[in-house]
Amino acid sequence: MDIGETSNNDTILYLHSISPAGRLLPSASRWNSIEMDFNLFPQSRNNLGYNSLPSRFSKSVDFKLTVTNKKNFKRFIYASLAVVSLIVVLCLLLHFLPNKQRHHGATKDLTLALKQALVFFDAQKSGVLPKDNTVKFRGDSGLDDGNKSLVGGFYDSGNNIKFSFPTAYTITLLSWSVIEYHPKYEEIGELDHIKSIIKWGSDYLLKLFIRPNESSPGSATLFSQVGSVGKNKTSTENDDKCWQRPEDMRYTRPVSSCDETASDLAGEIIAALSAASLVFKDDKMYSTNLTKTAMELFDIVTKDEPGFVQGMYTTKDECGGQAREFYNSTGYKDELVWGGTWLFFATGNTSYLRYTTENLVLAEEEEEELSVDKGIFYWNNKFTANTVLLTRLRYFLDLGYPYEESFLSSTNNVDSLMCSYLSPTMHKTQGICVNYILGDNPMKMSYVVGFSNNYPQHVHHRGASIPWDNQWHSCAEGGTWLNSEKPNPNQLLGAMVRGPDQYDMFLDERDKPWFTEPSISSNAGLVAALVALHDPPHSPSSLNGAGSLGIDSYGIFHNIHLN
């Protein structure tokens, strides 16, 4: 395309063009006379050594620039260089002058908060604990779960129940954060720690899926919960009503199970195993086991057979009836798409990407996403996260046909989301949100236990509220600690409590879980936010052009080699 047009008075008319893909494609652009590459944009897939799929979108734009007035053009070049130099100088001044002390102070605070937030997961471990477990008031527990076949995993919150759905979500999110920000984790000495947390969860998730066998052909089993909130046949005590350390449990812990129609639960487990396989890509045997299990489960829960019906796990009493009160699912297509997306990253198999792109469009057309969940990513809604991942695929790999309809829709959604963040009101809110959690709020209280000088002392948590005195405490004795006004005898370091109400009021009372109870899914979001906001490594290694940001831009594409 010609962008230079000469008139009699030697002026030059410059035009900007956007490709039919709806965005600029700078990585393959060429100026006939002058070639400039400032490495400001992701490299094209060709530069990464990947083969390209055919696309109906143009991947390059040829510019023919005619310079008719060299004197003016030189002035333009000199002026541009001067502006660039000024910007560089200003950036250096902002980095090294008065901001330096405050800048590194903030980094130190985020480092401490991140390290503490990871410790919380060690406090939530169930099963035979590792000898080097950092939480001293915890011991082995839940050793008979599922007749010993479901030992391990994490207690969800302040009670002693293990919910599979939020556990899988937690492992997916933590794995994603490691895939993106492993240089940051490594710099602060927490990479091995978070990988051990993820493996603790992924090991447990592998136990939740029982493949069909000869005795029950075509029927798979998914375990959705260990522990109970209601009465059981042998005891009136349960994991919700009994205030007892997990180490002291002697009551029966029922197990809830589902079949392959629990689509949302299956989709989240698939996503977790697939994302974790990328975290452990250097351990080929373990990574392959995770991926293989995810593929098998995906084939079962997405099968196209007459009479097979997909659905939500909480709609069936025997499957998620008790979880309904805590983690009620309102849709399942977003989880299946979520699982397919991560399986594509884990395997590079384009059949999963095709499933993802086709079904995301269908889910949007059917308006499965609740209006109150628009733009929110959490355990019940994966739409926003799905669109972010597909937008990333579009910009970094530019796959084009036949995925462009879903890619374009995803990009538009992400654009709208980013614009909402940049609005005056949202920009101010987003800028203070982590500071709010860490103490910059009307209560002047950090909602992360152990961070700053003022934080909750009466966290709604059984293990933290009962003394670690090598004595067995019954449920009745535990109730005394639930109602005690004394601070918890054990510090639940790094636990983010639920926090204040809409009026910024917070009551630090143990018997009010809507204020003081933490959960693994919430802490996973906290960890992801803290590592994203953390400063990049001071001595960045080669990270495919993103070292200055502390992000591994292409690690998520490790297994994608398209023909």
Tokens of 493: 């370091």
Hunting for tokens 């996403």 — which residue is that? 369
> CA dist 167 to 88, 174, 224, Å?
45, 11, 10
> CA dist 246 to 140, 146, 155, 444, Å?
8, 15, 9, 33
Between the two ends of the chain, the Cα-to-Cα distance in Å is 30
Closest CA to 396 of 48, 53, 60: 48
Q: Judge contact between 419 and 478, C-beta under 8 A.
A: no
> CA dist 518 to 2, 271, 449, 521, 525, Å?
60, 24, 10, 9, 12
Three-state SS at 12? strand
**Element at 137 (helix H, strand E):** none
CA distance 382 to 561: 26
One of 460, 461, 473, 534 is an active-site residue; which one?
460
Hunting for tokens 């560089």 — which residue is that? 88
User: Cis peptide leading into 402, omega within 30 of 0?
Assistant: yes
To the query of whether residue 460 is one of the catalytic residues in this protein, the response is: yes
Hunting for tokens 């069909």 — which residue is that? 212
CA distance 473 to 189: 37
Hunting for tokens 């109150």 — which residue is that? 372
* Degrees, nearest 5: CA angle 33-35-38: 155
Q: Which residues are catalytic?
A: 460
